[in-house]
Structure 1
Amino acid sequence: MINYNGTISKTPPTLSINNRAFKYGDGLFETIKVIDSNVIFLEDHYFRLMASMRMLRMKIDMQFTLEFFEQEILKTAAANNLSNARIRFTINRKDGGLYLPSTNNTHFLVEANPLSVSLKKNYEIDLFKDYYVYSGILSTLKTNNKVLNVVGSIYADENGLDNCVLLNEKKQVVEALNANIFLVKGKHIVTPPLSEGCLKGVFRKNLLELISKDDTLTIEEKVISPFELQKTDEIFLTNAIVGIQPVSKYRKKEFTSEIAFYLRDKMNL
């Protein structure tokens, strides 16, 4: 069951050849976890989406309140008989125009799938260096422009990897293909700042807040060289669905996961 502009239907909507998300990637999306019919990090997902729409100069309808956002998510999950769900909430500008749109009004589409979350014990990563993330503010948005992530995922699959680390044009660490990245040395944790081009992750935001209040750990947002990946004690990846995924191996270096599991317990998700 699909929710298209508030209407639940078994039949997916027919997109025209002028659909702007299809033609120009002119869209945004949120990937959201629902547990026991509760939307996890509801406000953070909503306000990130609203801020992103404003940046892309999309019109925000008066009805598009926090309560409406939550209602449409839960309505879609319920229509699919799911109390635990992985939700994709997509916004795209309505048809019309070339690069210059003929309107800034939007459509929304909500999809619900069964939530399946499992940590991998052996999780290997490497660098993806064929293409780079641009270290600009647009890279921090969750837009439909994800061809780099698609090609990187194919590269990871071809090389028997679980994920890849993306670099920016300055050859500095940005993030993983589908997650933010954190490095641990002793009790000190570092992650790339948003200025490097990493996604403004909802889980990242909440984890930074949690670590900053933890008396046993320190946190720093700093530029990270790829060479630091082999010098650290732990690496872990974060996103809104999996939470925290420890990395066990990068090239010839194997890692511990003590801090990653400590933080997983603290986040209680």
Structure 2
Amino acid sequence: MQYLNFNGKLIPAGTAIIDADNRGLRFGDGLFETIKYKNGELQLIDLHLDRLWQGLAALMFDIPRLFTKEYLTREIAKLIHKNRLTHARIRLLIIRGKGGLFDPENLHPVFVIQSWPLDDDFGKLNSNGLELCFYGDAIKSCDSFSHLKHNNFLPYLMGALFAKSNHCNDAIILNEHRRIADTTIANIFSIHEGAIYTPPLAEGCIAGTMRQFLLDHLPKKGFKIVETPLTKEFLLEADEVFLTNAMSPVKWVRAIGEKEFSRDTILDIHRSLSQTFPAIFC
């Protein structure tokens, strides 16, 4: 039997836990993090919790004194131990409690931690490139909340359904300026003559933990990386394109529509990072 952690209590994973008046259910009032656990380590945990705390402040949660990053880390570890996991995807959901739009019972966080086992080779650099498409029926706003991992994910939800119905691996989400934001599950990078480009947070993309990791570490490896707005035209002129998220640190994109991409620089990036961070870039 698998378990989940609901506000510090380990209960069977199929247990009903949400009241019909819950603000997370009614309004999407909350945040989430998806964290990779491997070889006894919660990968990029500091980046995940820093982003989460920024989100809690932005959404005006009232954080109890004992509700700390260390406390949540212990609660995640408790669930991992209970479910006897060695390699897993961890989802940490933070929602507010019951109440209407103007009259919440309180502003305290309620948390749910779930886990799913992963295959040992999950997250390896893919040899069969991804095929992407553009999704334009919903756009990503560029505001104070657009970079957060909040629970209002309609553009990503509909983009994922669009990608599946069009036999694509993922869909590229556009922002209010009709430029590139990200994809439904990842940040996006393009490579032009060896230089790496990715949209800045002001363009509405999620503040991905792996995105930040690459921004911090790729220049130290000798790679040029630039945060700049990306148009569809610029993206389609790229030599190479790749995606990143916490579960799959580098994913090669083979094609967007009819445009195909190589992966020589991507292989160099992955090889360089795997030498220094083998636990992450397996």
Q: TM-score range by the shorter chain?
A: over 0.9
Aligned to 1:171: 178
**Aligned ranges 1:140-219 → 2 under 5 Å:** 140-215=147-222, 217-219=223-225
Deviates more, 1:9-18 or 1:33-42: 9-18
Aligned to 2:86: 83
Are 1:59 and 2:66 an aligned pair? no
Instruction: Tell me the CA shift for residue 97 of structure 1.
Output: 2.7
Instruction: Tell me the CA shift for residue 99 of structure 1.
Output: 4.2
Aligned to 2:259: 253
Runs of 4+ aligned residues of structure 1 deviating over 3 Å after TM superposition are none
C-alpha separation in 1, matches of 2:228 and 2:82: 44
**Aligned ranges 1:4-43 → 2 under 5 Å:** 4-10=6-12, 11-43=14-46
Percent identity between the two aligned chains: 31
C-alpha separation in 2, matches of 1:102 and 1:262: 53
Cα distance change of structure 1 residues 18 and 196 upon mapping to structure 2, 3 Å threshold: same
Cα distance change of structure 1 residues 46 and 192 upon mapping to structure 2, 3 Å threshold: same
Aligned to 1:262: 268
The answer to whether the Cα contact below 8 Å between 2:61 and 2:109 also exists between their aligned partners in 1 is yes
Look up the SS of the partner of 2:221 in the other structure.
coil
The answer to whether the Cα contact below 8 Å between 1:142 and 1:199 also exists between their aligned partners in 2 is yes
The answer to whether the Cα contact below 8 Å between 1:137 and 1:197 also exists between their aligned partners in 2 is no
Aligned to 1:121: 128
The answer to whether the Cα contact below 8 Å between 1:33 and 1:115 also exists between their aligned partners in 2 is no
Instruction: Tell me the CA shift for residue 48 of structure 1.
Output: 0.8
C-alpha separation in 2, matches of 1:21 and 1:246: 35
Instruction: Tell me the CA shift for residue 16 of structure 1.
Output: 1.0
Which stretches in structure 1 are left out of the alignment for 5+ residues?
Answer: none
The answer to whether the Cα contact below 8 Å between 2:187 and 2:243 also exists between their aligned partners in 1 is yes
Instruction: Please tell me the residue identity of whatever aligns with 1:8.
Output: L
The answer to whether the Cα contact below 8 Å between 1:229 and 1:250 also exists between their aligned partners in 2 is no
Aligned to 1:105: 108
Cα distance change of structure 1 residues 124 and 99 upon mapping to structure 2, 3 Å threshold: farther
C-alpha separation in 2, matches of 1:83 and 1:62: 31
Aligned to 2:246: 240
C-alpha separation in 1, matches of 2:24 and 2:240: 38
C-alpha separation in 1, matches of 2:78 and 2:64: 19
Instruction: Tell me the CA shift for residue 84 of structure 1.
Output: 1.1
Instruction: Please tell me the residue identity of whatever aligns with 2:7.
Output: N
Instruction: Please tell me the residue identity of whatever aligns with 1:193.
Output: P
Deviations 1:135-171 (A, max 9, x none): 1121100011112211111111111101111101110
Deviations 1:76-97 (A, max 9, x none): 1111111211000000011123
Which stretches in structure 2 are left out of the alignment for 5+ residues?
Answer: none
C-alpha separation in 2, matches of 1:253 and 1:191: 19
- Normalised by the length of structure 2, the TM-score is 0.91
C-alpha separation in 2, matches of 1:197 and 1:204: 14
Instruction: Please tell me the residue identity of whatever aligns with 1:7.
Output: K
The answer to whether the Cα contact below 8 Å between 1:185 and 1:234 also exists between their aligned partners in 2 is yes
